[in-house]
Amino acid sequence: MQEDMQEVNIVAEQAIDLAVNNVPQLAMAVAVLLIGLWIIKAVCAGQRKALTRREVKASRQRVIENFTNIGLKVMLFIGIASMVGIETTSLLAILGAAGLAIGLALQGSLGNFAGGVIIMLFRPFRVGDFIEACGQAGVVQEIGVFNSVITTGDNKTVIMPNGAVSNGVITNYSTQETRRVDIVFGVELFLPKKDLKNAKDILAGLMEADERILKDPAPTVVVSALGDSAVDITTRSWVASSDYWDVYHDLMENAKLALEDAGITIPYPQVDVPLNKAA
């Protein structure tokens, strides 16, 4: 019993000596921790104000702030560990192994995160643009860290993973101020020469009368193909991007009515099958 008490006293004395000897280091580490966290908070606040003055999007601000916050805190904790006598080499090895394990477990999410960073940095599209990506077309409502959200023409909300968006083909219909409206009209294959010219004049007149169609570049009407049952006449006209679909549908309808009024019919595909009568 006496021996046990002596051992307890020895352990207690060693613990007290260790604490007394390391109090300055521990106090210094706590002070550095508190001051470091305060500095990190101030740096993030200053960064937020600078990004706001530059009118950086809120979603992009959050990504940059998180990177800065996490990076500075990791550096701070490594420095504190070194101050209290922890070998930083072993700590870095543990952090590396943990990072690798987390990366493998969250491979898909990290791919989407990387895609979101790429989209925010290179900006192939912005909120409000009409785009086509991942087989979907619609107006961009939100560009998040992991996903981008669009609204389709029939008012469906589509959430697309940023990894697939950034690695695929993106068609942005809103980057250019003007677009070309190409429409193909089929007329009778054996239409007389004067009627073919009349059809082209009718289509040219419709485009000239539409104030939404730009004069420069000038609209054109050309014979684009000789099909199996029709002559294809193509109209090409330039309009403001916002007028594209209105002009497309109006010109399609007005052309059909004008051609029919002129006696020029739009043929349908047909096949002649000769029949041989048995002798």
Helix H, strand E, coil C: the string for 217-250 is CCCEEEEEEECCCEEEEEEEEEEEHHHHHHHHHH
Q: What is the pLDDT of residue 171?
A: 94
Q: Is 119 within the bounds of a domain?
A: no
* Domain CATH code at residue 32: 1.10.287.1260
Measured in Å, how far apart are the chain's first and last C-alpha atoms?
130
pLDDT at 91: 59
In a domain, 155, yes or no: yes
pLDDT at position 95 is 65
Identify whether the C-beta of residue 172 lies closer than 8 Å to the C-beta of residue 124. yes
Q: Are residues 168 and 198 in the same domain?
A: no
Answer yes or no: is 274 within a domain: no
For residue 275, give the 3-state DSSP assignment. Answer: coil
Query: Would you list the DSSP string of 55-85?
Result: T--HHHHHHHHHHHHHHHHHHHHHHHHHHTT
- Is 213 part of a structural domain of the chain? yes
Alpha helices in 123-231 (DSSP H): 162-167, 193-209
Per-residue pLDDT at 159: 94
Contacts of 64 by beta carbon, 8 Å cutoff, 6+ apart? 47, 51, 56
- CATH number, residue 157: 2.30.30.60
Domain encompassing residue 130: 124-172
In a domain, 114, yes or no: no
pLDDT averaged per 10 residues in sequence order, the chain, 279 residues: 58 56 69 83 83 72 75 77 66 64 59 83 89 93 88 93 91 93 87 83 94 93 86 94 93 92 78 65
Statement to judge: residues 37 and 89 lie in one domain: yes
Same-domain status, 133 and 193: no
Residue 207 sits in the same domain as residue 226: yes
- Number of domains the chain is built from: 3
Give backbone dihedrals phi and psi of 219, rounded to 5 degrees, phi first: -70, 155
Q: Are residues 56 and 16 in the same domain?
A: yes
Looking at the fold, whether 217 and 164 belong to one and the same domain comes out as no
The type of residue at 62 is R
Whether 199 contacts 259, CB under 8 Å: yes
Is residue 278 one of the residues assigned to a domain?
Answer: no
